[in-house]
Amino acid sequence: MREYKIAAIPADGIGPEVIAAGLQALVALARRDGGFGFDVTSFDWGSDRYKKTGTLMPEDGVEQLKTFDAIFFGAVGAPDVPDHITLWGLRLPICQGFDQYANVRPTRILPGIHSPLEGVGPGDLDWVIVRENSEGEYAGSGGRAHKGLPEEVGTEVAIFTRVGVTRIMRYAFRLAQSRPRKFLTVVTKSNAQRHGMVMWDEIAAEVSEEFPDVSWDKMLVDAMTVRMVKQPQSLDTIVATNLHADILSDLAGALAGSLGVAPTANIDPERRYPSMFEPIHGSAFDITGKGIANPVATFWTAAQMLDHLGEADAAKRLMIAVEQVCADGVMTPDVGGTATTRQVTDAVCEAIRGANL
């Protein structure tokens, strides 16, 4: 039997609620399949640990994760801990430590879920956003001089390297090539930002020559938000910087019905290290503990994890089950339903048992 070592880091807010749901679905899939199983280790890292010990994870935390096949992550962030501390204390060190440079965010409208865009239904919006996940605006470079004084200056330096941009561009072209439409949109802000962003445009043109069967176009990020809303059918695969794709993918999640259905995978395409799978959403303090967190984003990212592990059939089966449950109207309130996290999860597990490929 194939056994996968999974590191679960549920962390904060609704993180533990959705990760529990995700693990339940993974167990149901393993039972249904019979050919693989999971050895799950849970880590109690997050804001509670920070409040007790001063760090979100142990000093050798990233090292501890190295031997796992994949990381299954909830969300990090607490109302009484500054967000830059939680983000830089847990999620970013893992992404950067394992050079998970491709952040992959599929978005489509699932059956039964309504987009806020009028007349846009399943089939009209089917995108994958590829986010550069190792440098750019989140390289962590910058500083504050004359702190607290009237002349204080703060800088955020975006860093783009030829190696970093070329590898994400190749990843995006390859992904576009694997999809039926073979179409990529490269997003920048190269009119106002004339250094790293112009380099993006140049590298896109260079890499495109390696993929003659992929057609592509360019968009400025501000105009891109309009195109996503007005012509969702005109887009397929999208590549953008760390910051731009962060913003565009929240918009994409909302256009597909809710942040609660939007998944993400932080991938090391070279497979030197474990990749990390998580819902896009945060810890959602407003609904924590109410039992109504939408687990669909976590199911979807579990499907991404299965695909990455080589269990494509199980990934497919999970998404068939999720779509069936959504189509049946068993949904949480964020997408207009009345079901609880547990009811959706039980329904998905039931559908997994019945789902034929």
Cβ 253 to ligand NAD shortest distance, Å: 9
Among 128, 287, 318, 330, binds ligand NAD (CB under 6 A): 287
CB 103, min distance to Mn ion, A: 10
Q: Give the residue, chosen from 1, 230, 286, 356, that forms a contact with ligand NAD under the rule CB under 6 A.
A: 286
Applying CB under 6 A, does 281 fall inside the site for ligand NAD? yes
Total of residues contacting ligand NAD (CB under 6 A): 22
Is residue 265 within the footprint of ligand NAD (CB under 6 A)? no
Contact assessment for residue 121 and residue 257, using Cβ atoms and an 8 Å cutoff: no
Q: At what angle do helices 312-327 and 15-33 cross, to 10 degrees?
A: 120
Task: Give the dihedral of Cα atoms 295, 296, 299, 300; nearest 10 deg.
Answer: -150
**Side chain identity, residue 318:** L
Tell me if 89 contacts ligand NAD by CB under 6 A: no
- Record the tokens describing residue 97, joined without a space: 């430590």
Identify which range of 73-81, 190-198, 228-236, 310-318 contacts ligand NAD by CB under 6 A: 73-81
The nearest distance, CB 213 to Mn ion, in angstroms, is: 32
Size of the site for Mn ion (CB under 5 A): 1
Distance CA 107, CA 67 (A): 30
Inter-residue contact 299 to 21 (CB < 8 Å) = yes
Print the binding letters for residues 219-248 with Mn ion: x by CB under 5 A, - otherwise: ---------------------------x--
- Residue 246 interacts, among Mn ion, ligand NAD, none and using kind-specific CB cut-offs from 5 to 8 Å, with Mn ion
> Within 10 A of 59 (CB to CB), how many other CB atoms are there?
8
Alpha carbon of 279 to those of 111, 180, 233, 305, 311: distances in Å? 19, 25, 24, 12, 19
137 binds Mn ion (CB under 5 A): no
Cβ neighbours of residue 202 closer than 8 Å, sequence gap 6 or more: none
Task: Decide if residue 294 touches ligand NAD (CB under 6 A).
Answer: yes
Min dist. Cβ of residue 292 to ligand NAD (A): 7
Minimum gap (Å) between residue 232 Cβ and ligand NAD? 21
Reported for 138-145, long-range contacts at CB under 8 A and 24+ positions apart, including other chains, are 138/92, 138/242, 138/243, 140/88, 140/92
- Are 198 and 205 in contact by the 8 Å Cβ rule? The answer is no
Task: Using DSSP, state whether 345 is helix, strand or coil.
Answer: helix
For residue 318, give every residue at least 6 positions away whose Cβ sits within 8 Å of its Cβ, in sequence order, or none.
Answer: 25, 29, 299, 302, 303, 306, 348, 352
- Exactly one of 260, 269, 274, 337 binds ligand NAD (CB under 6 A); that residue is 260
Q: Binding string to ligand NAD for residues 4 to 23, with x set by CB under 6 A, is what? A: ----------x---x-----
Tell whether residue 25 is a contact of ligand NAD (CB under 6 A). no
CB of 303 to ligand NAD, least distance (A): 16
Residue 102, binding choice from ligand NAD, Mn ion, none, Cβ under 5 to 8 Å by partner class? none
Residues 159 and 140: their CA atoms lie apart, in Å, by 9
| Dist CA 222 CA 224 (whole Å) | 5
Q: Which is nearer to ligand NAD, 9 or 197 (CB)?
A: 9
Residues that bind ligand NAD in the complex, under the rule CB under 6 A? 14, 18, 75-77, 83, 91, 259-260, 278, 281-287, 293-294, 297, 332, 334
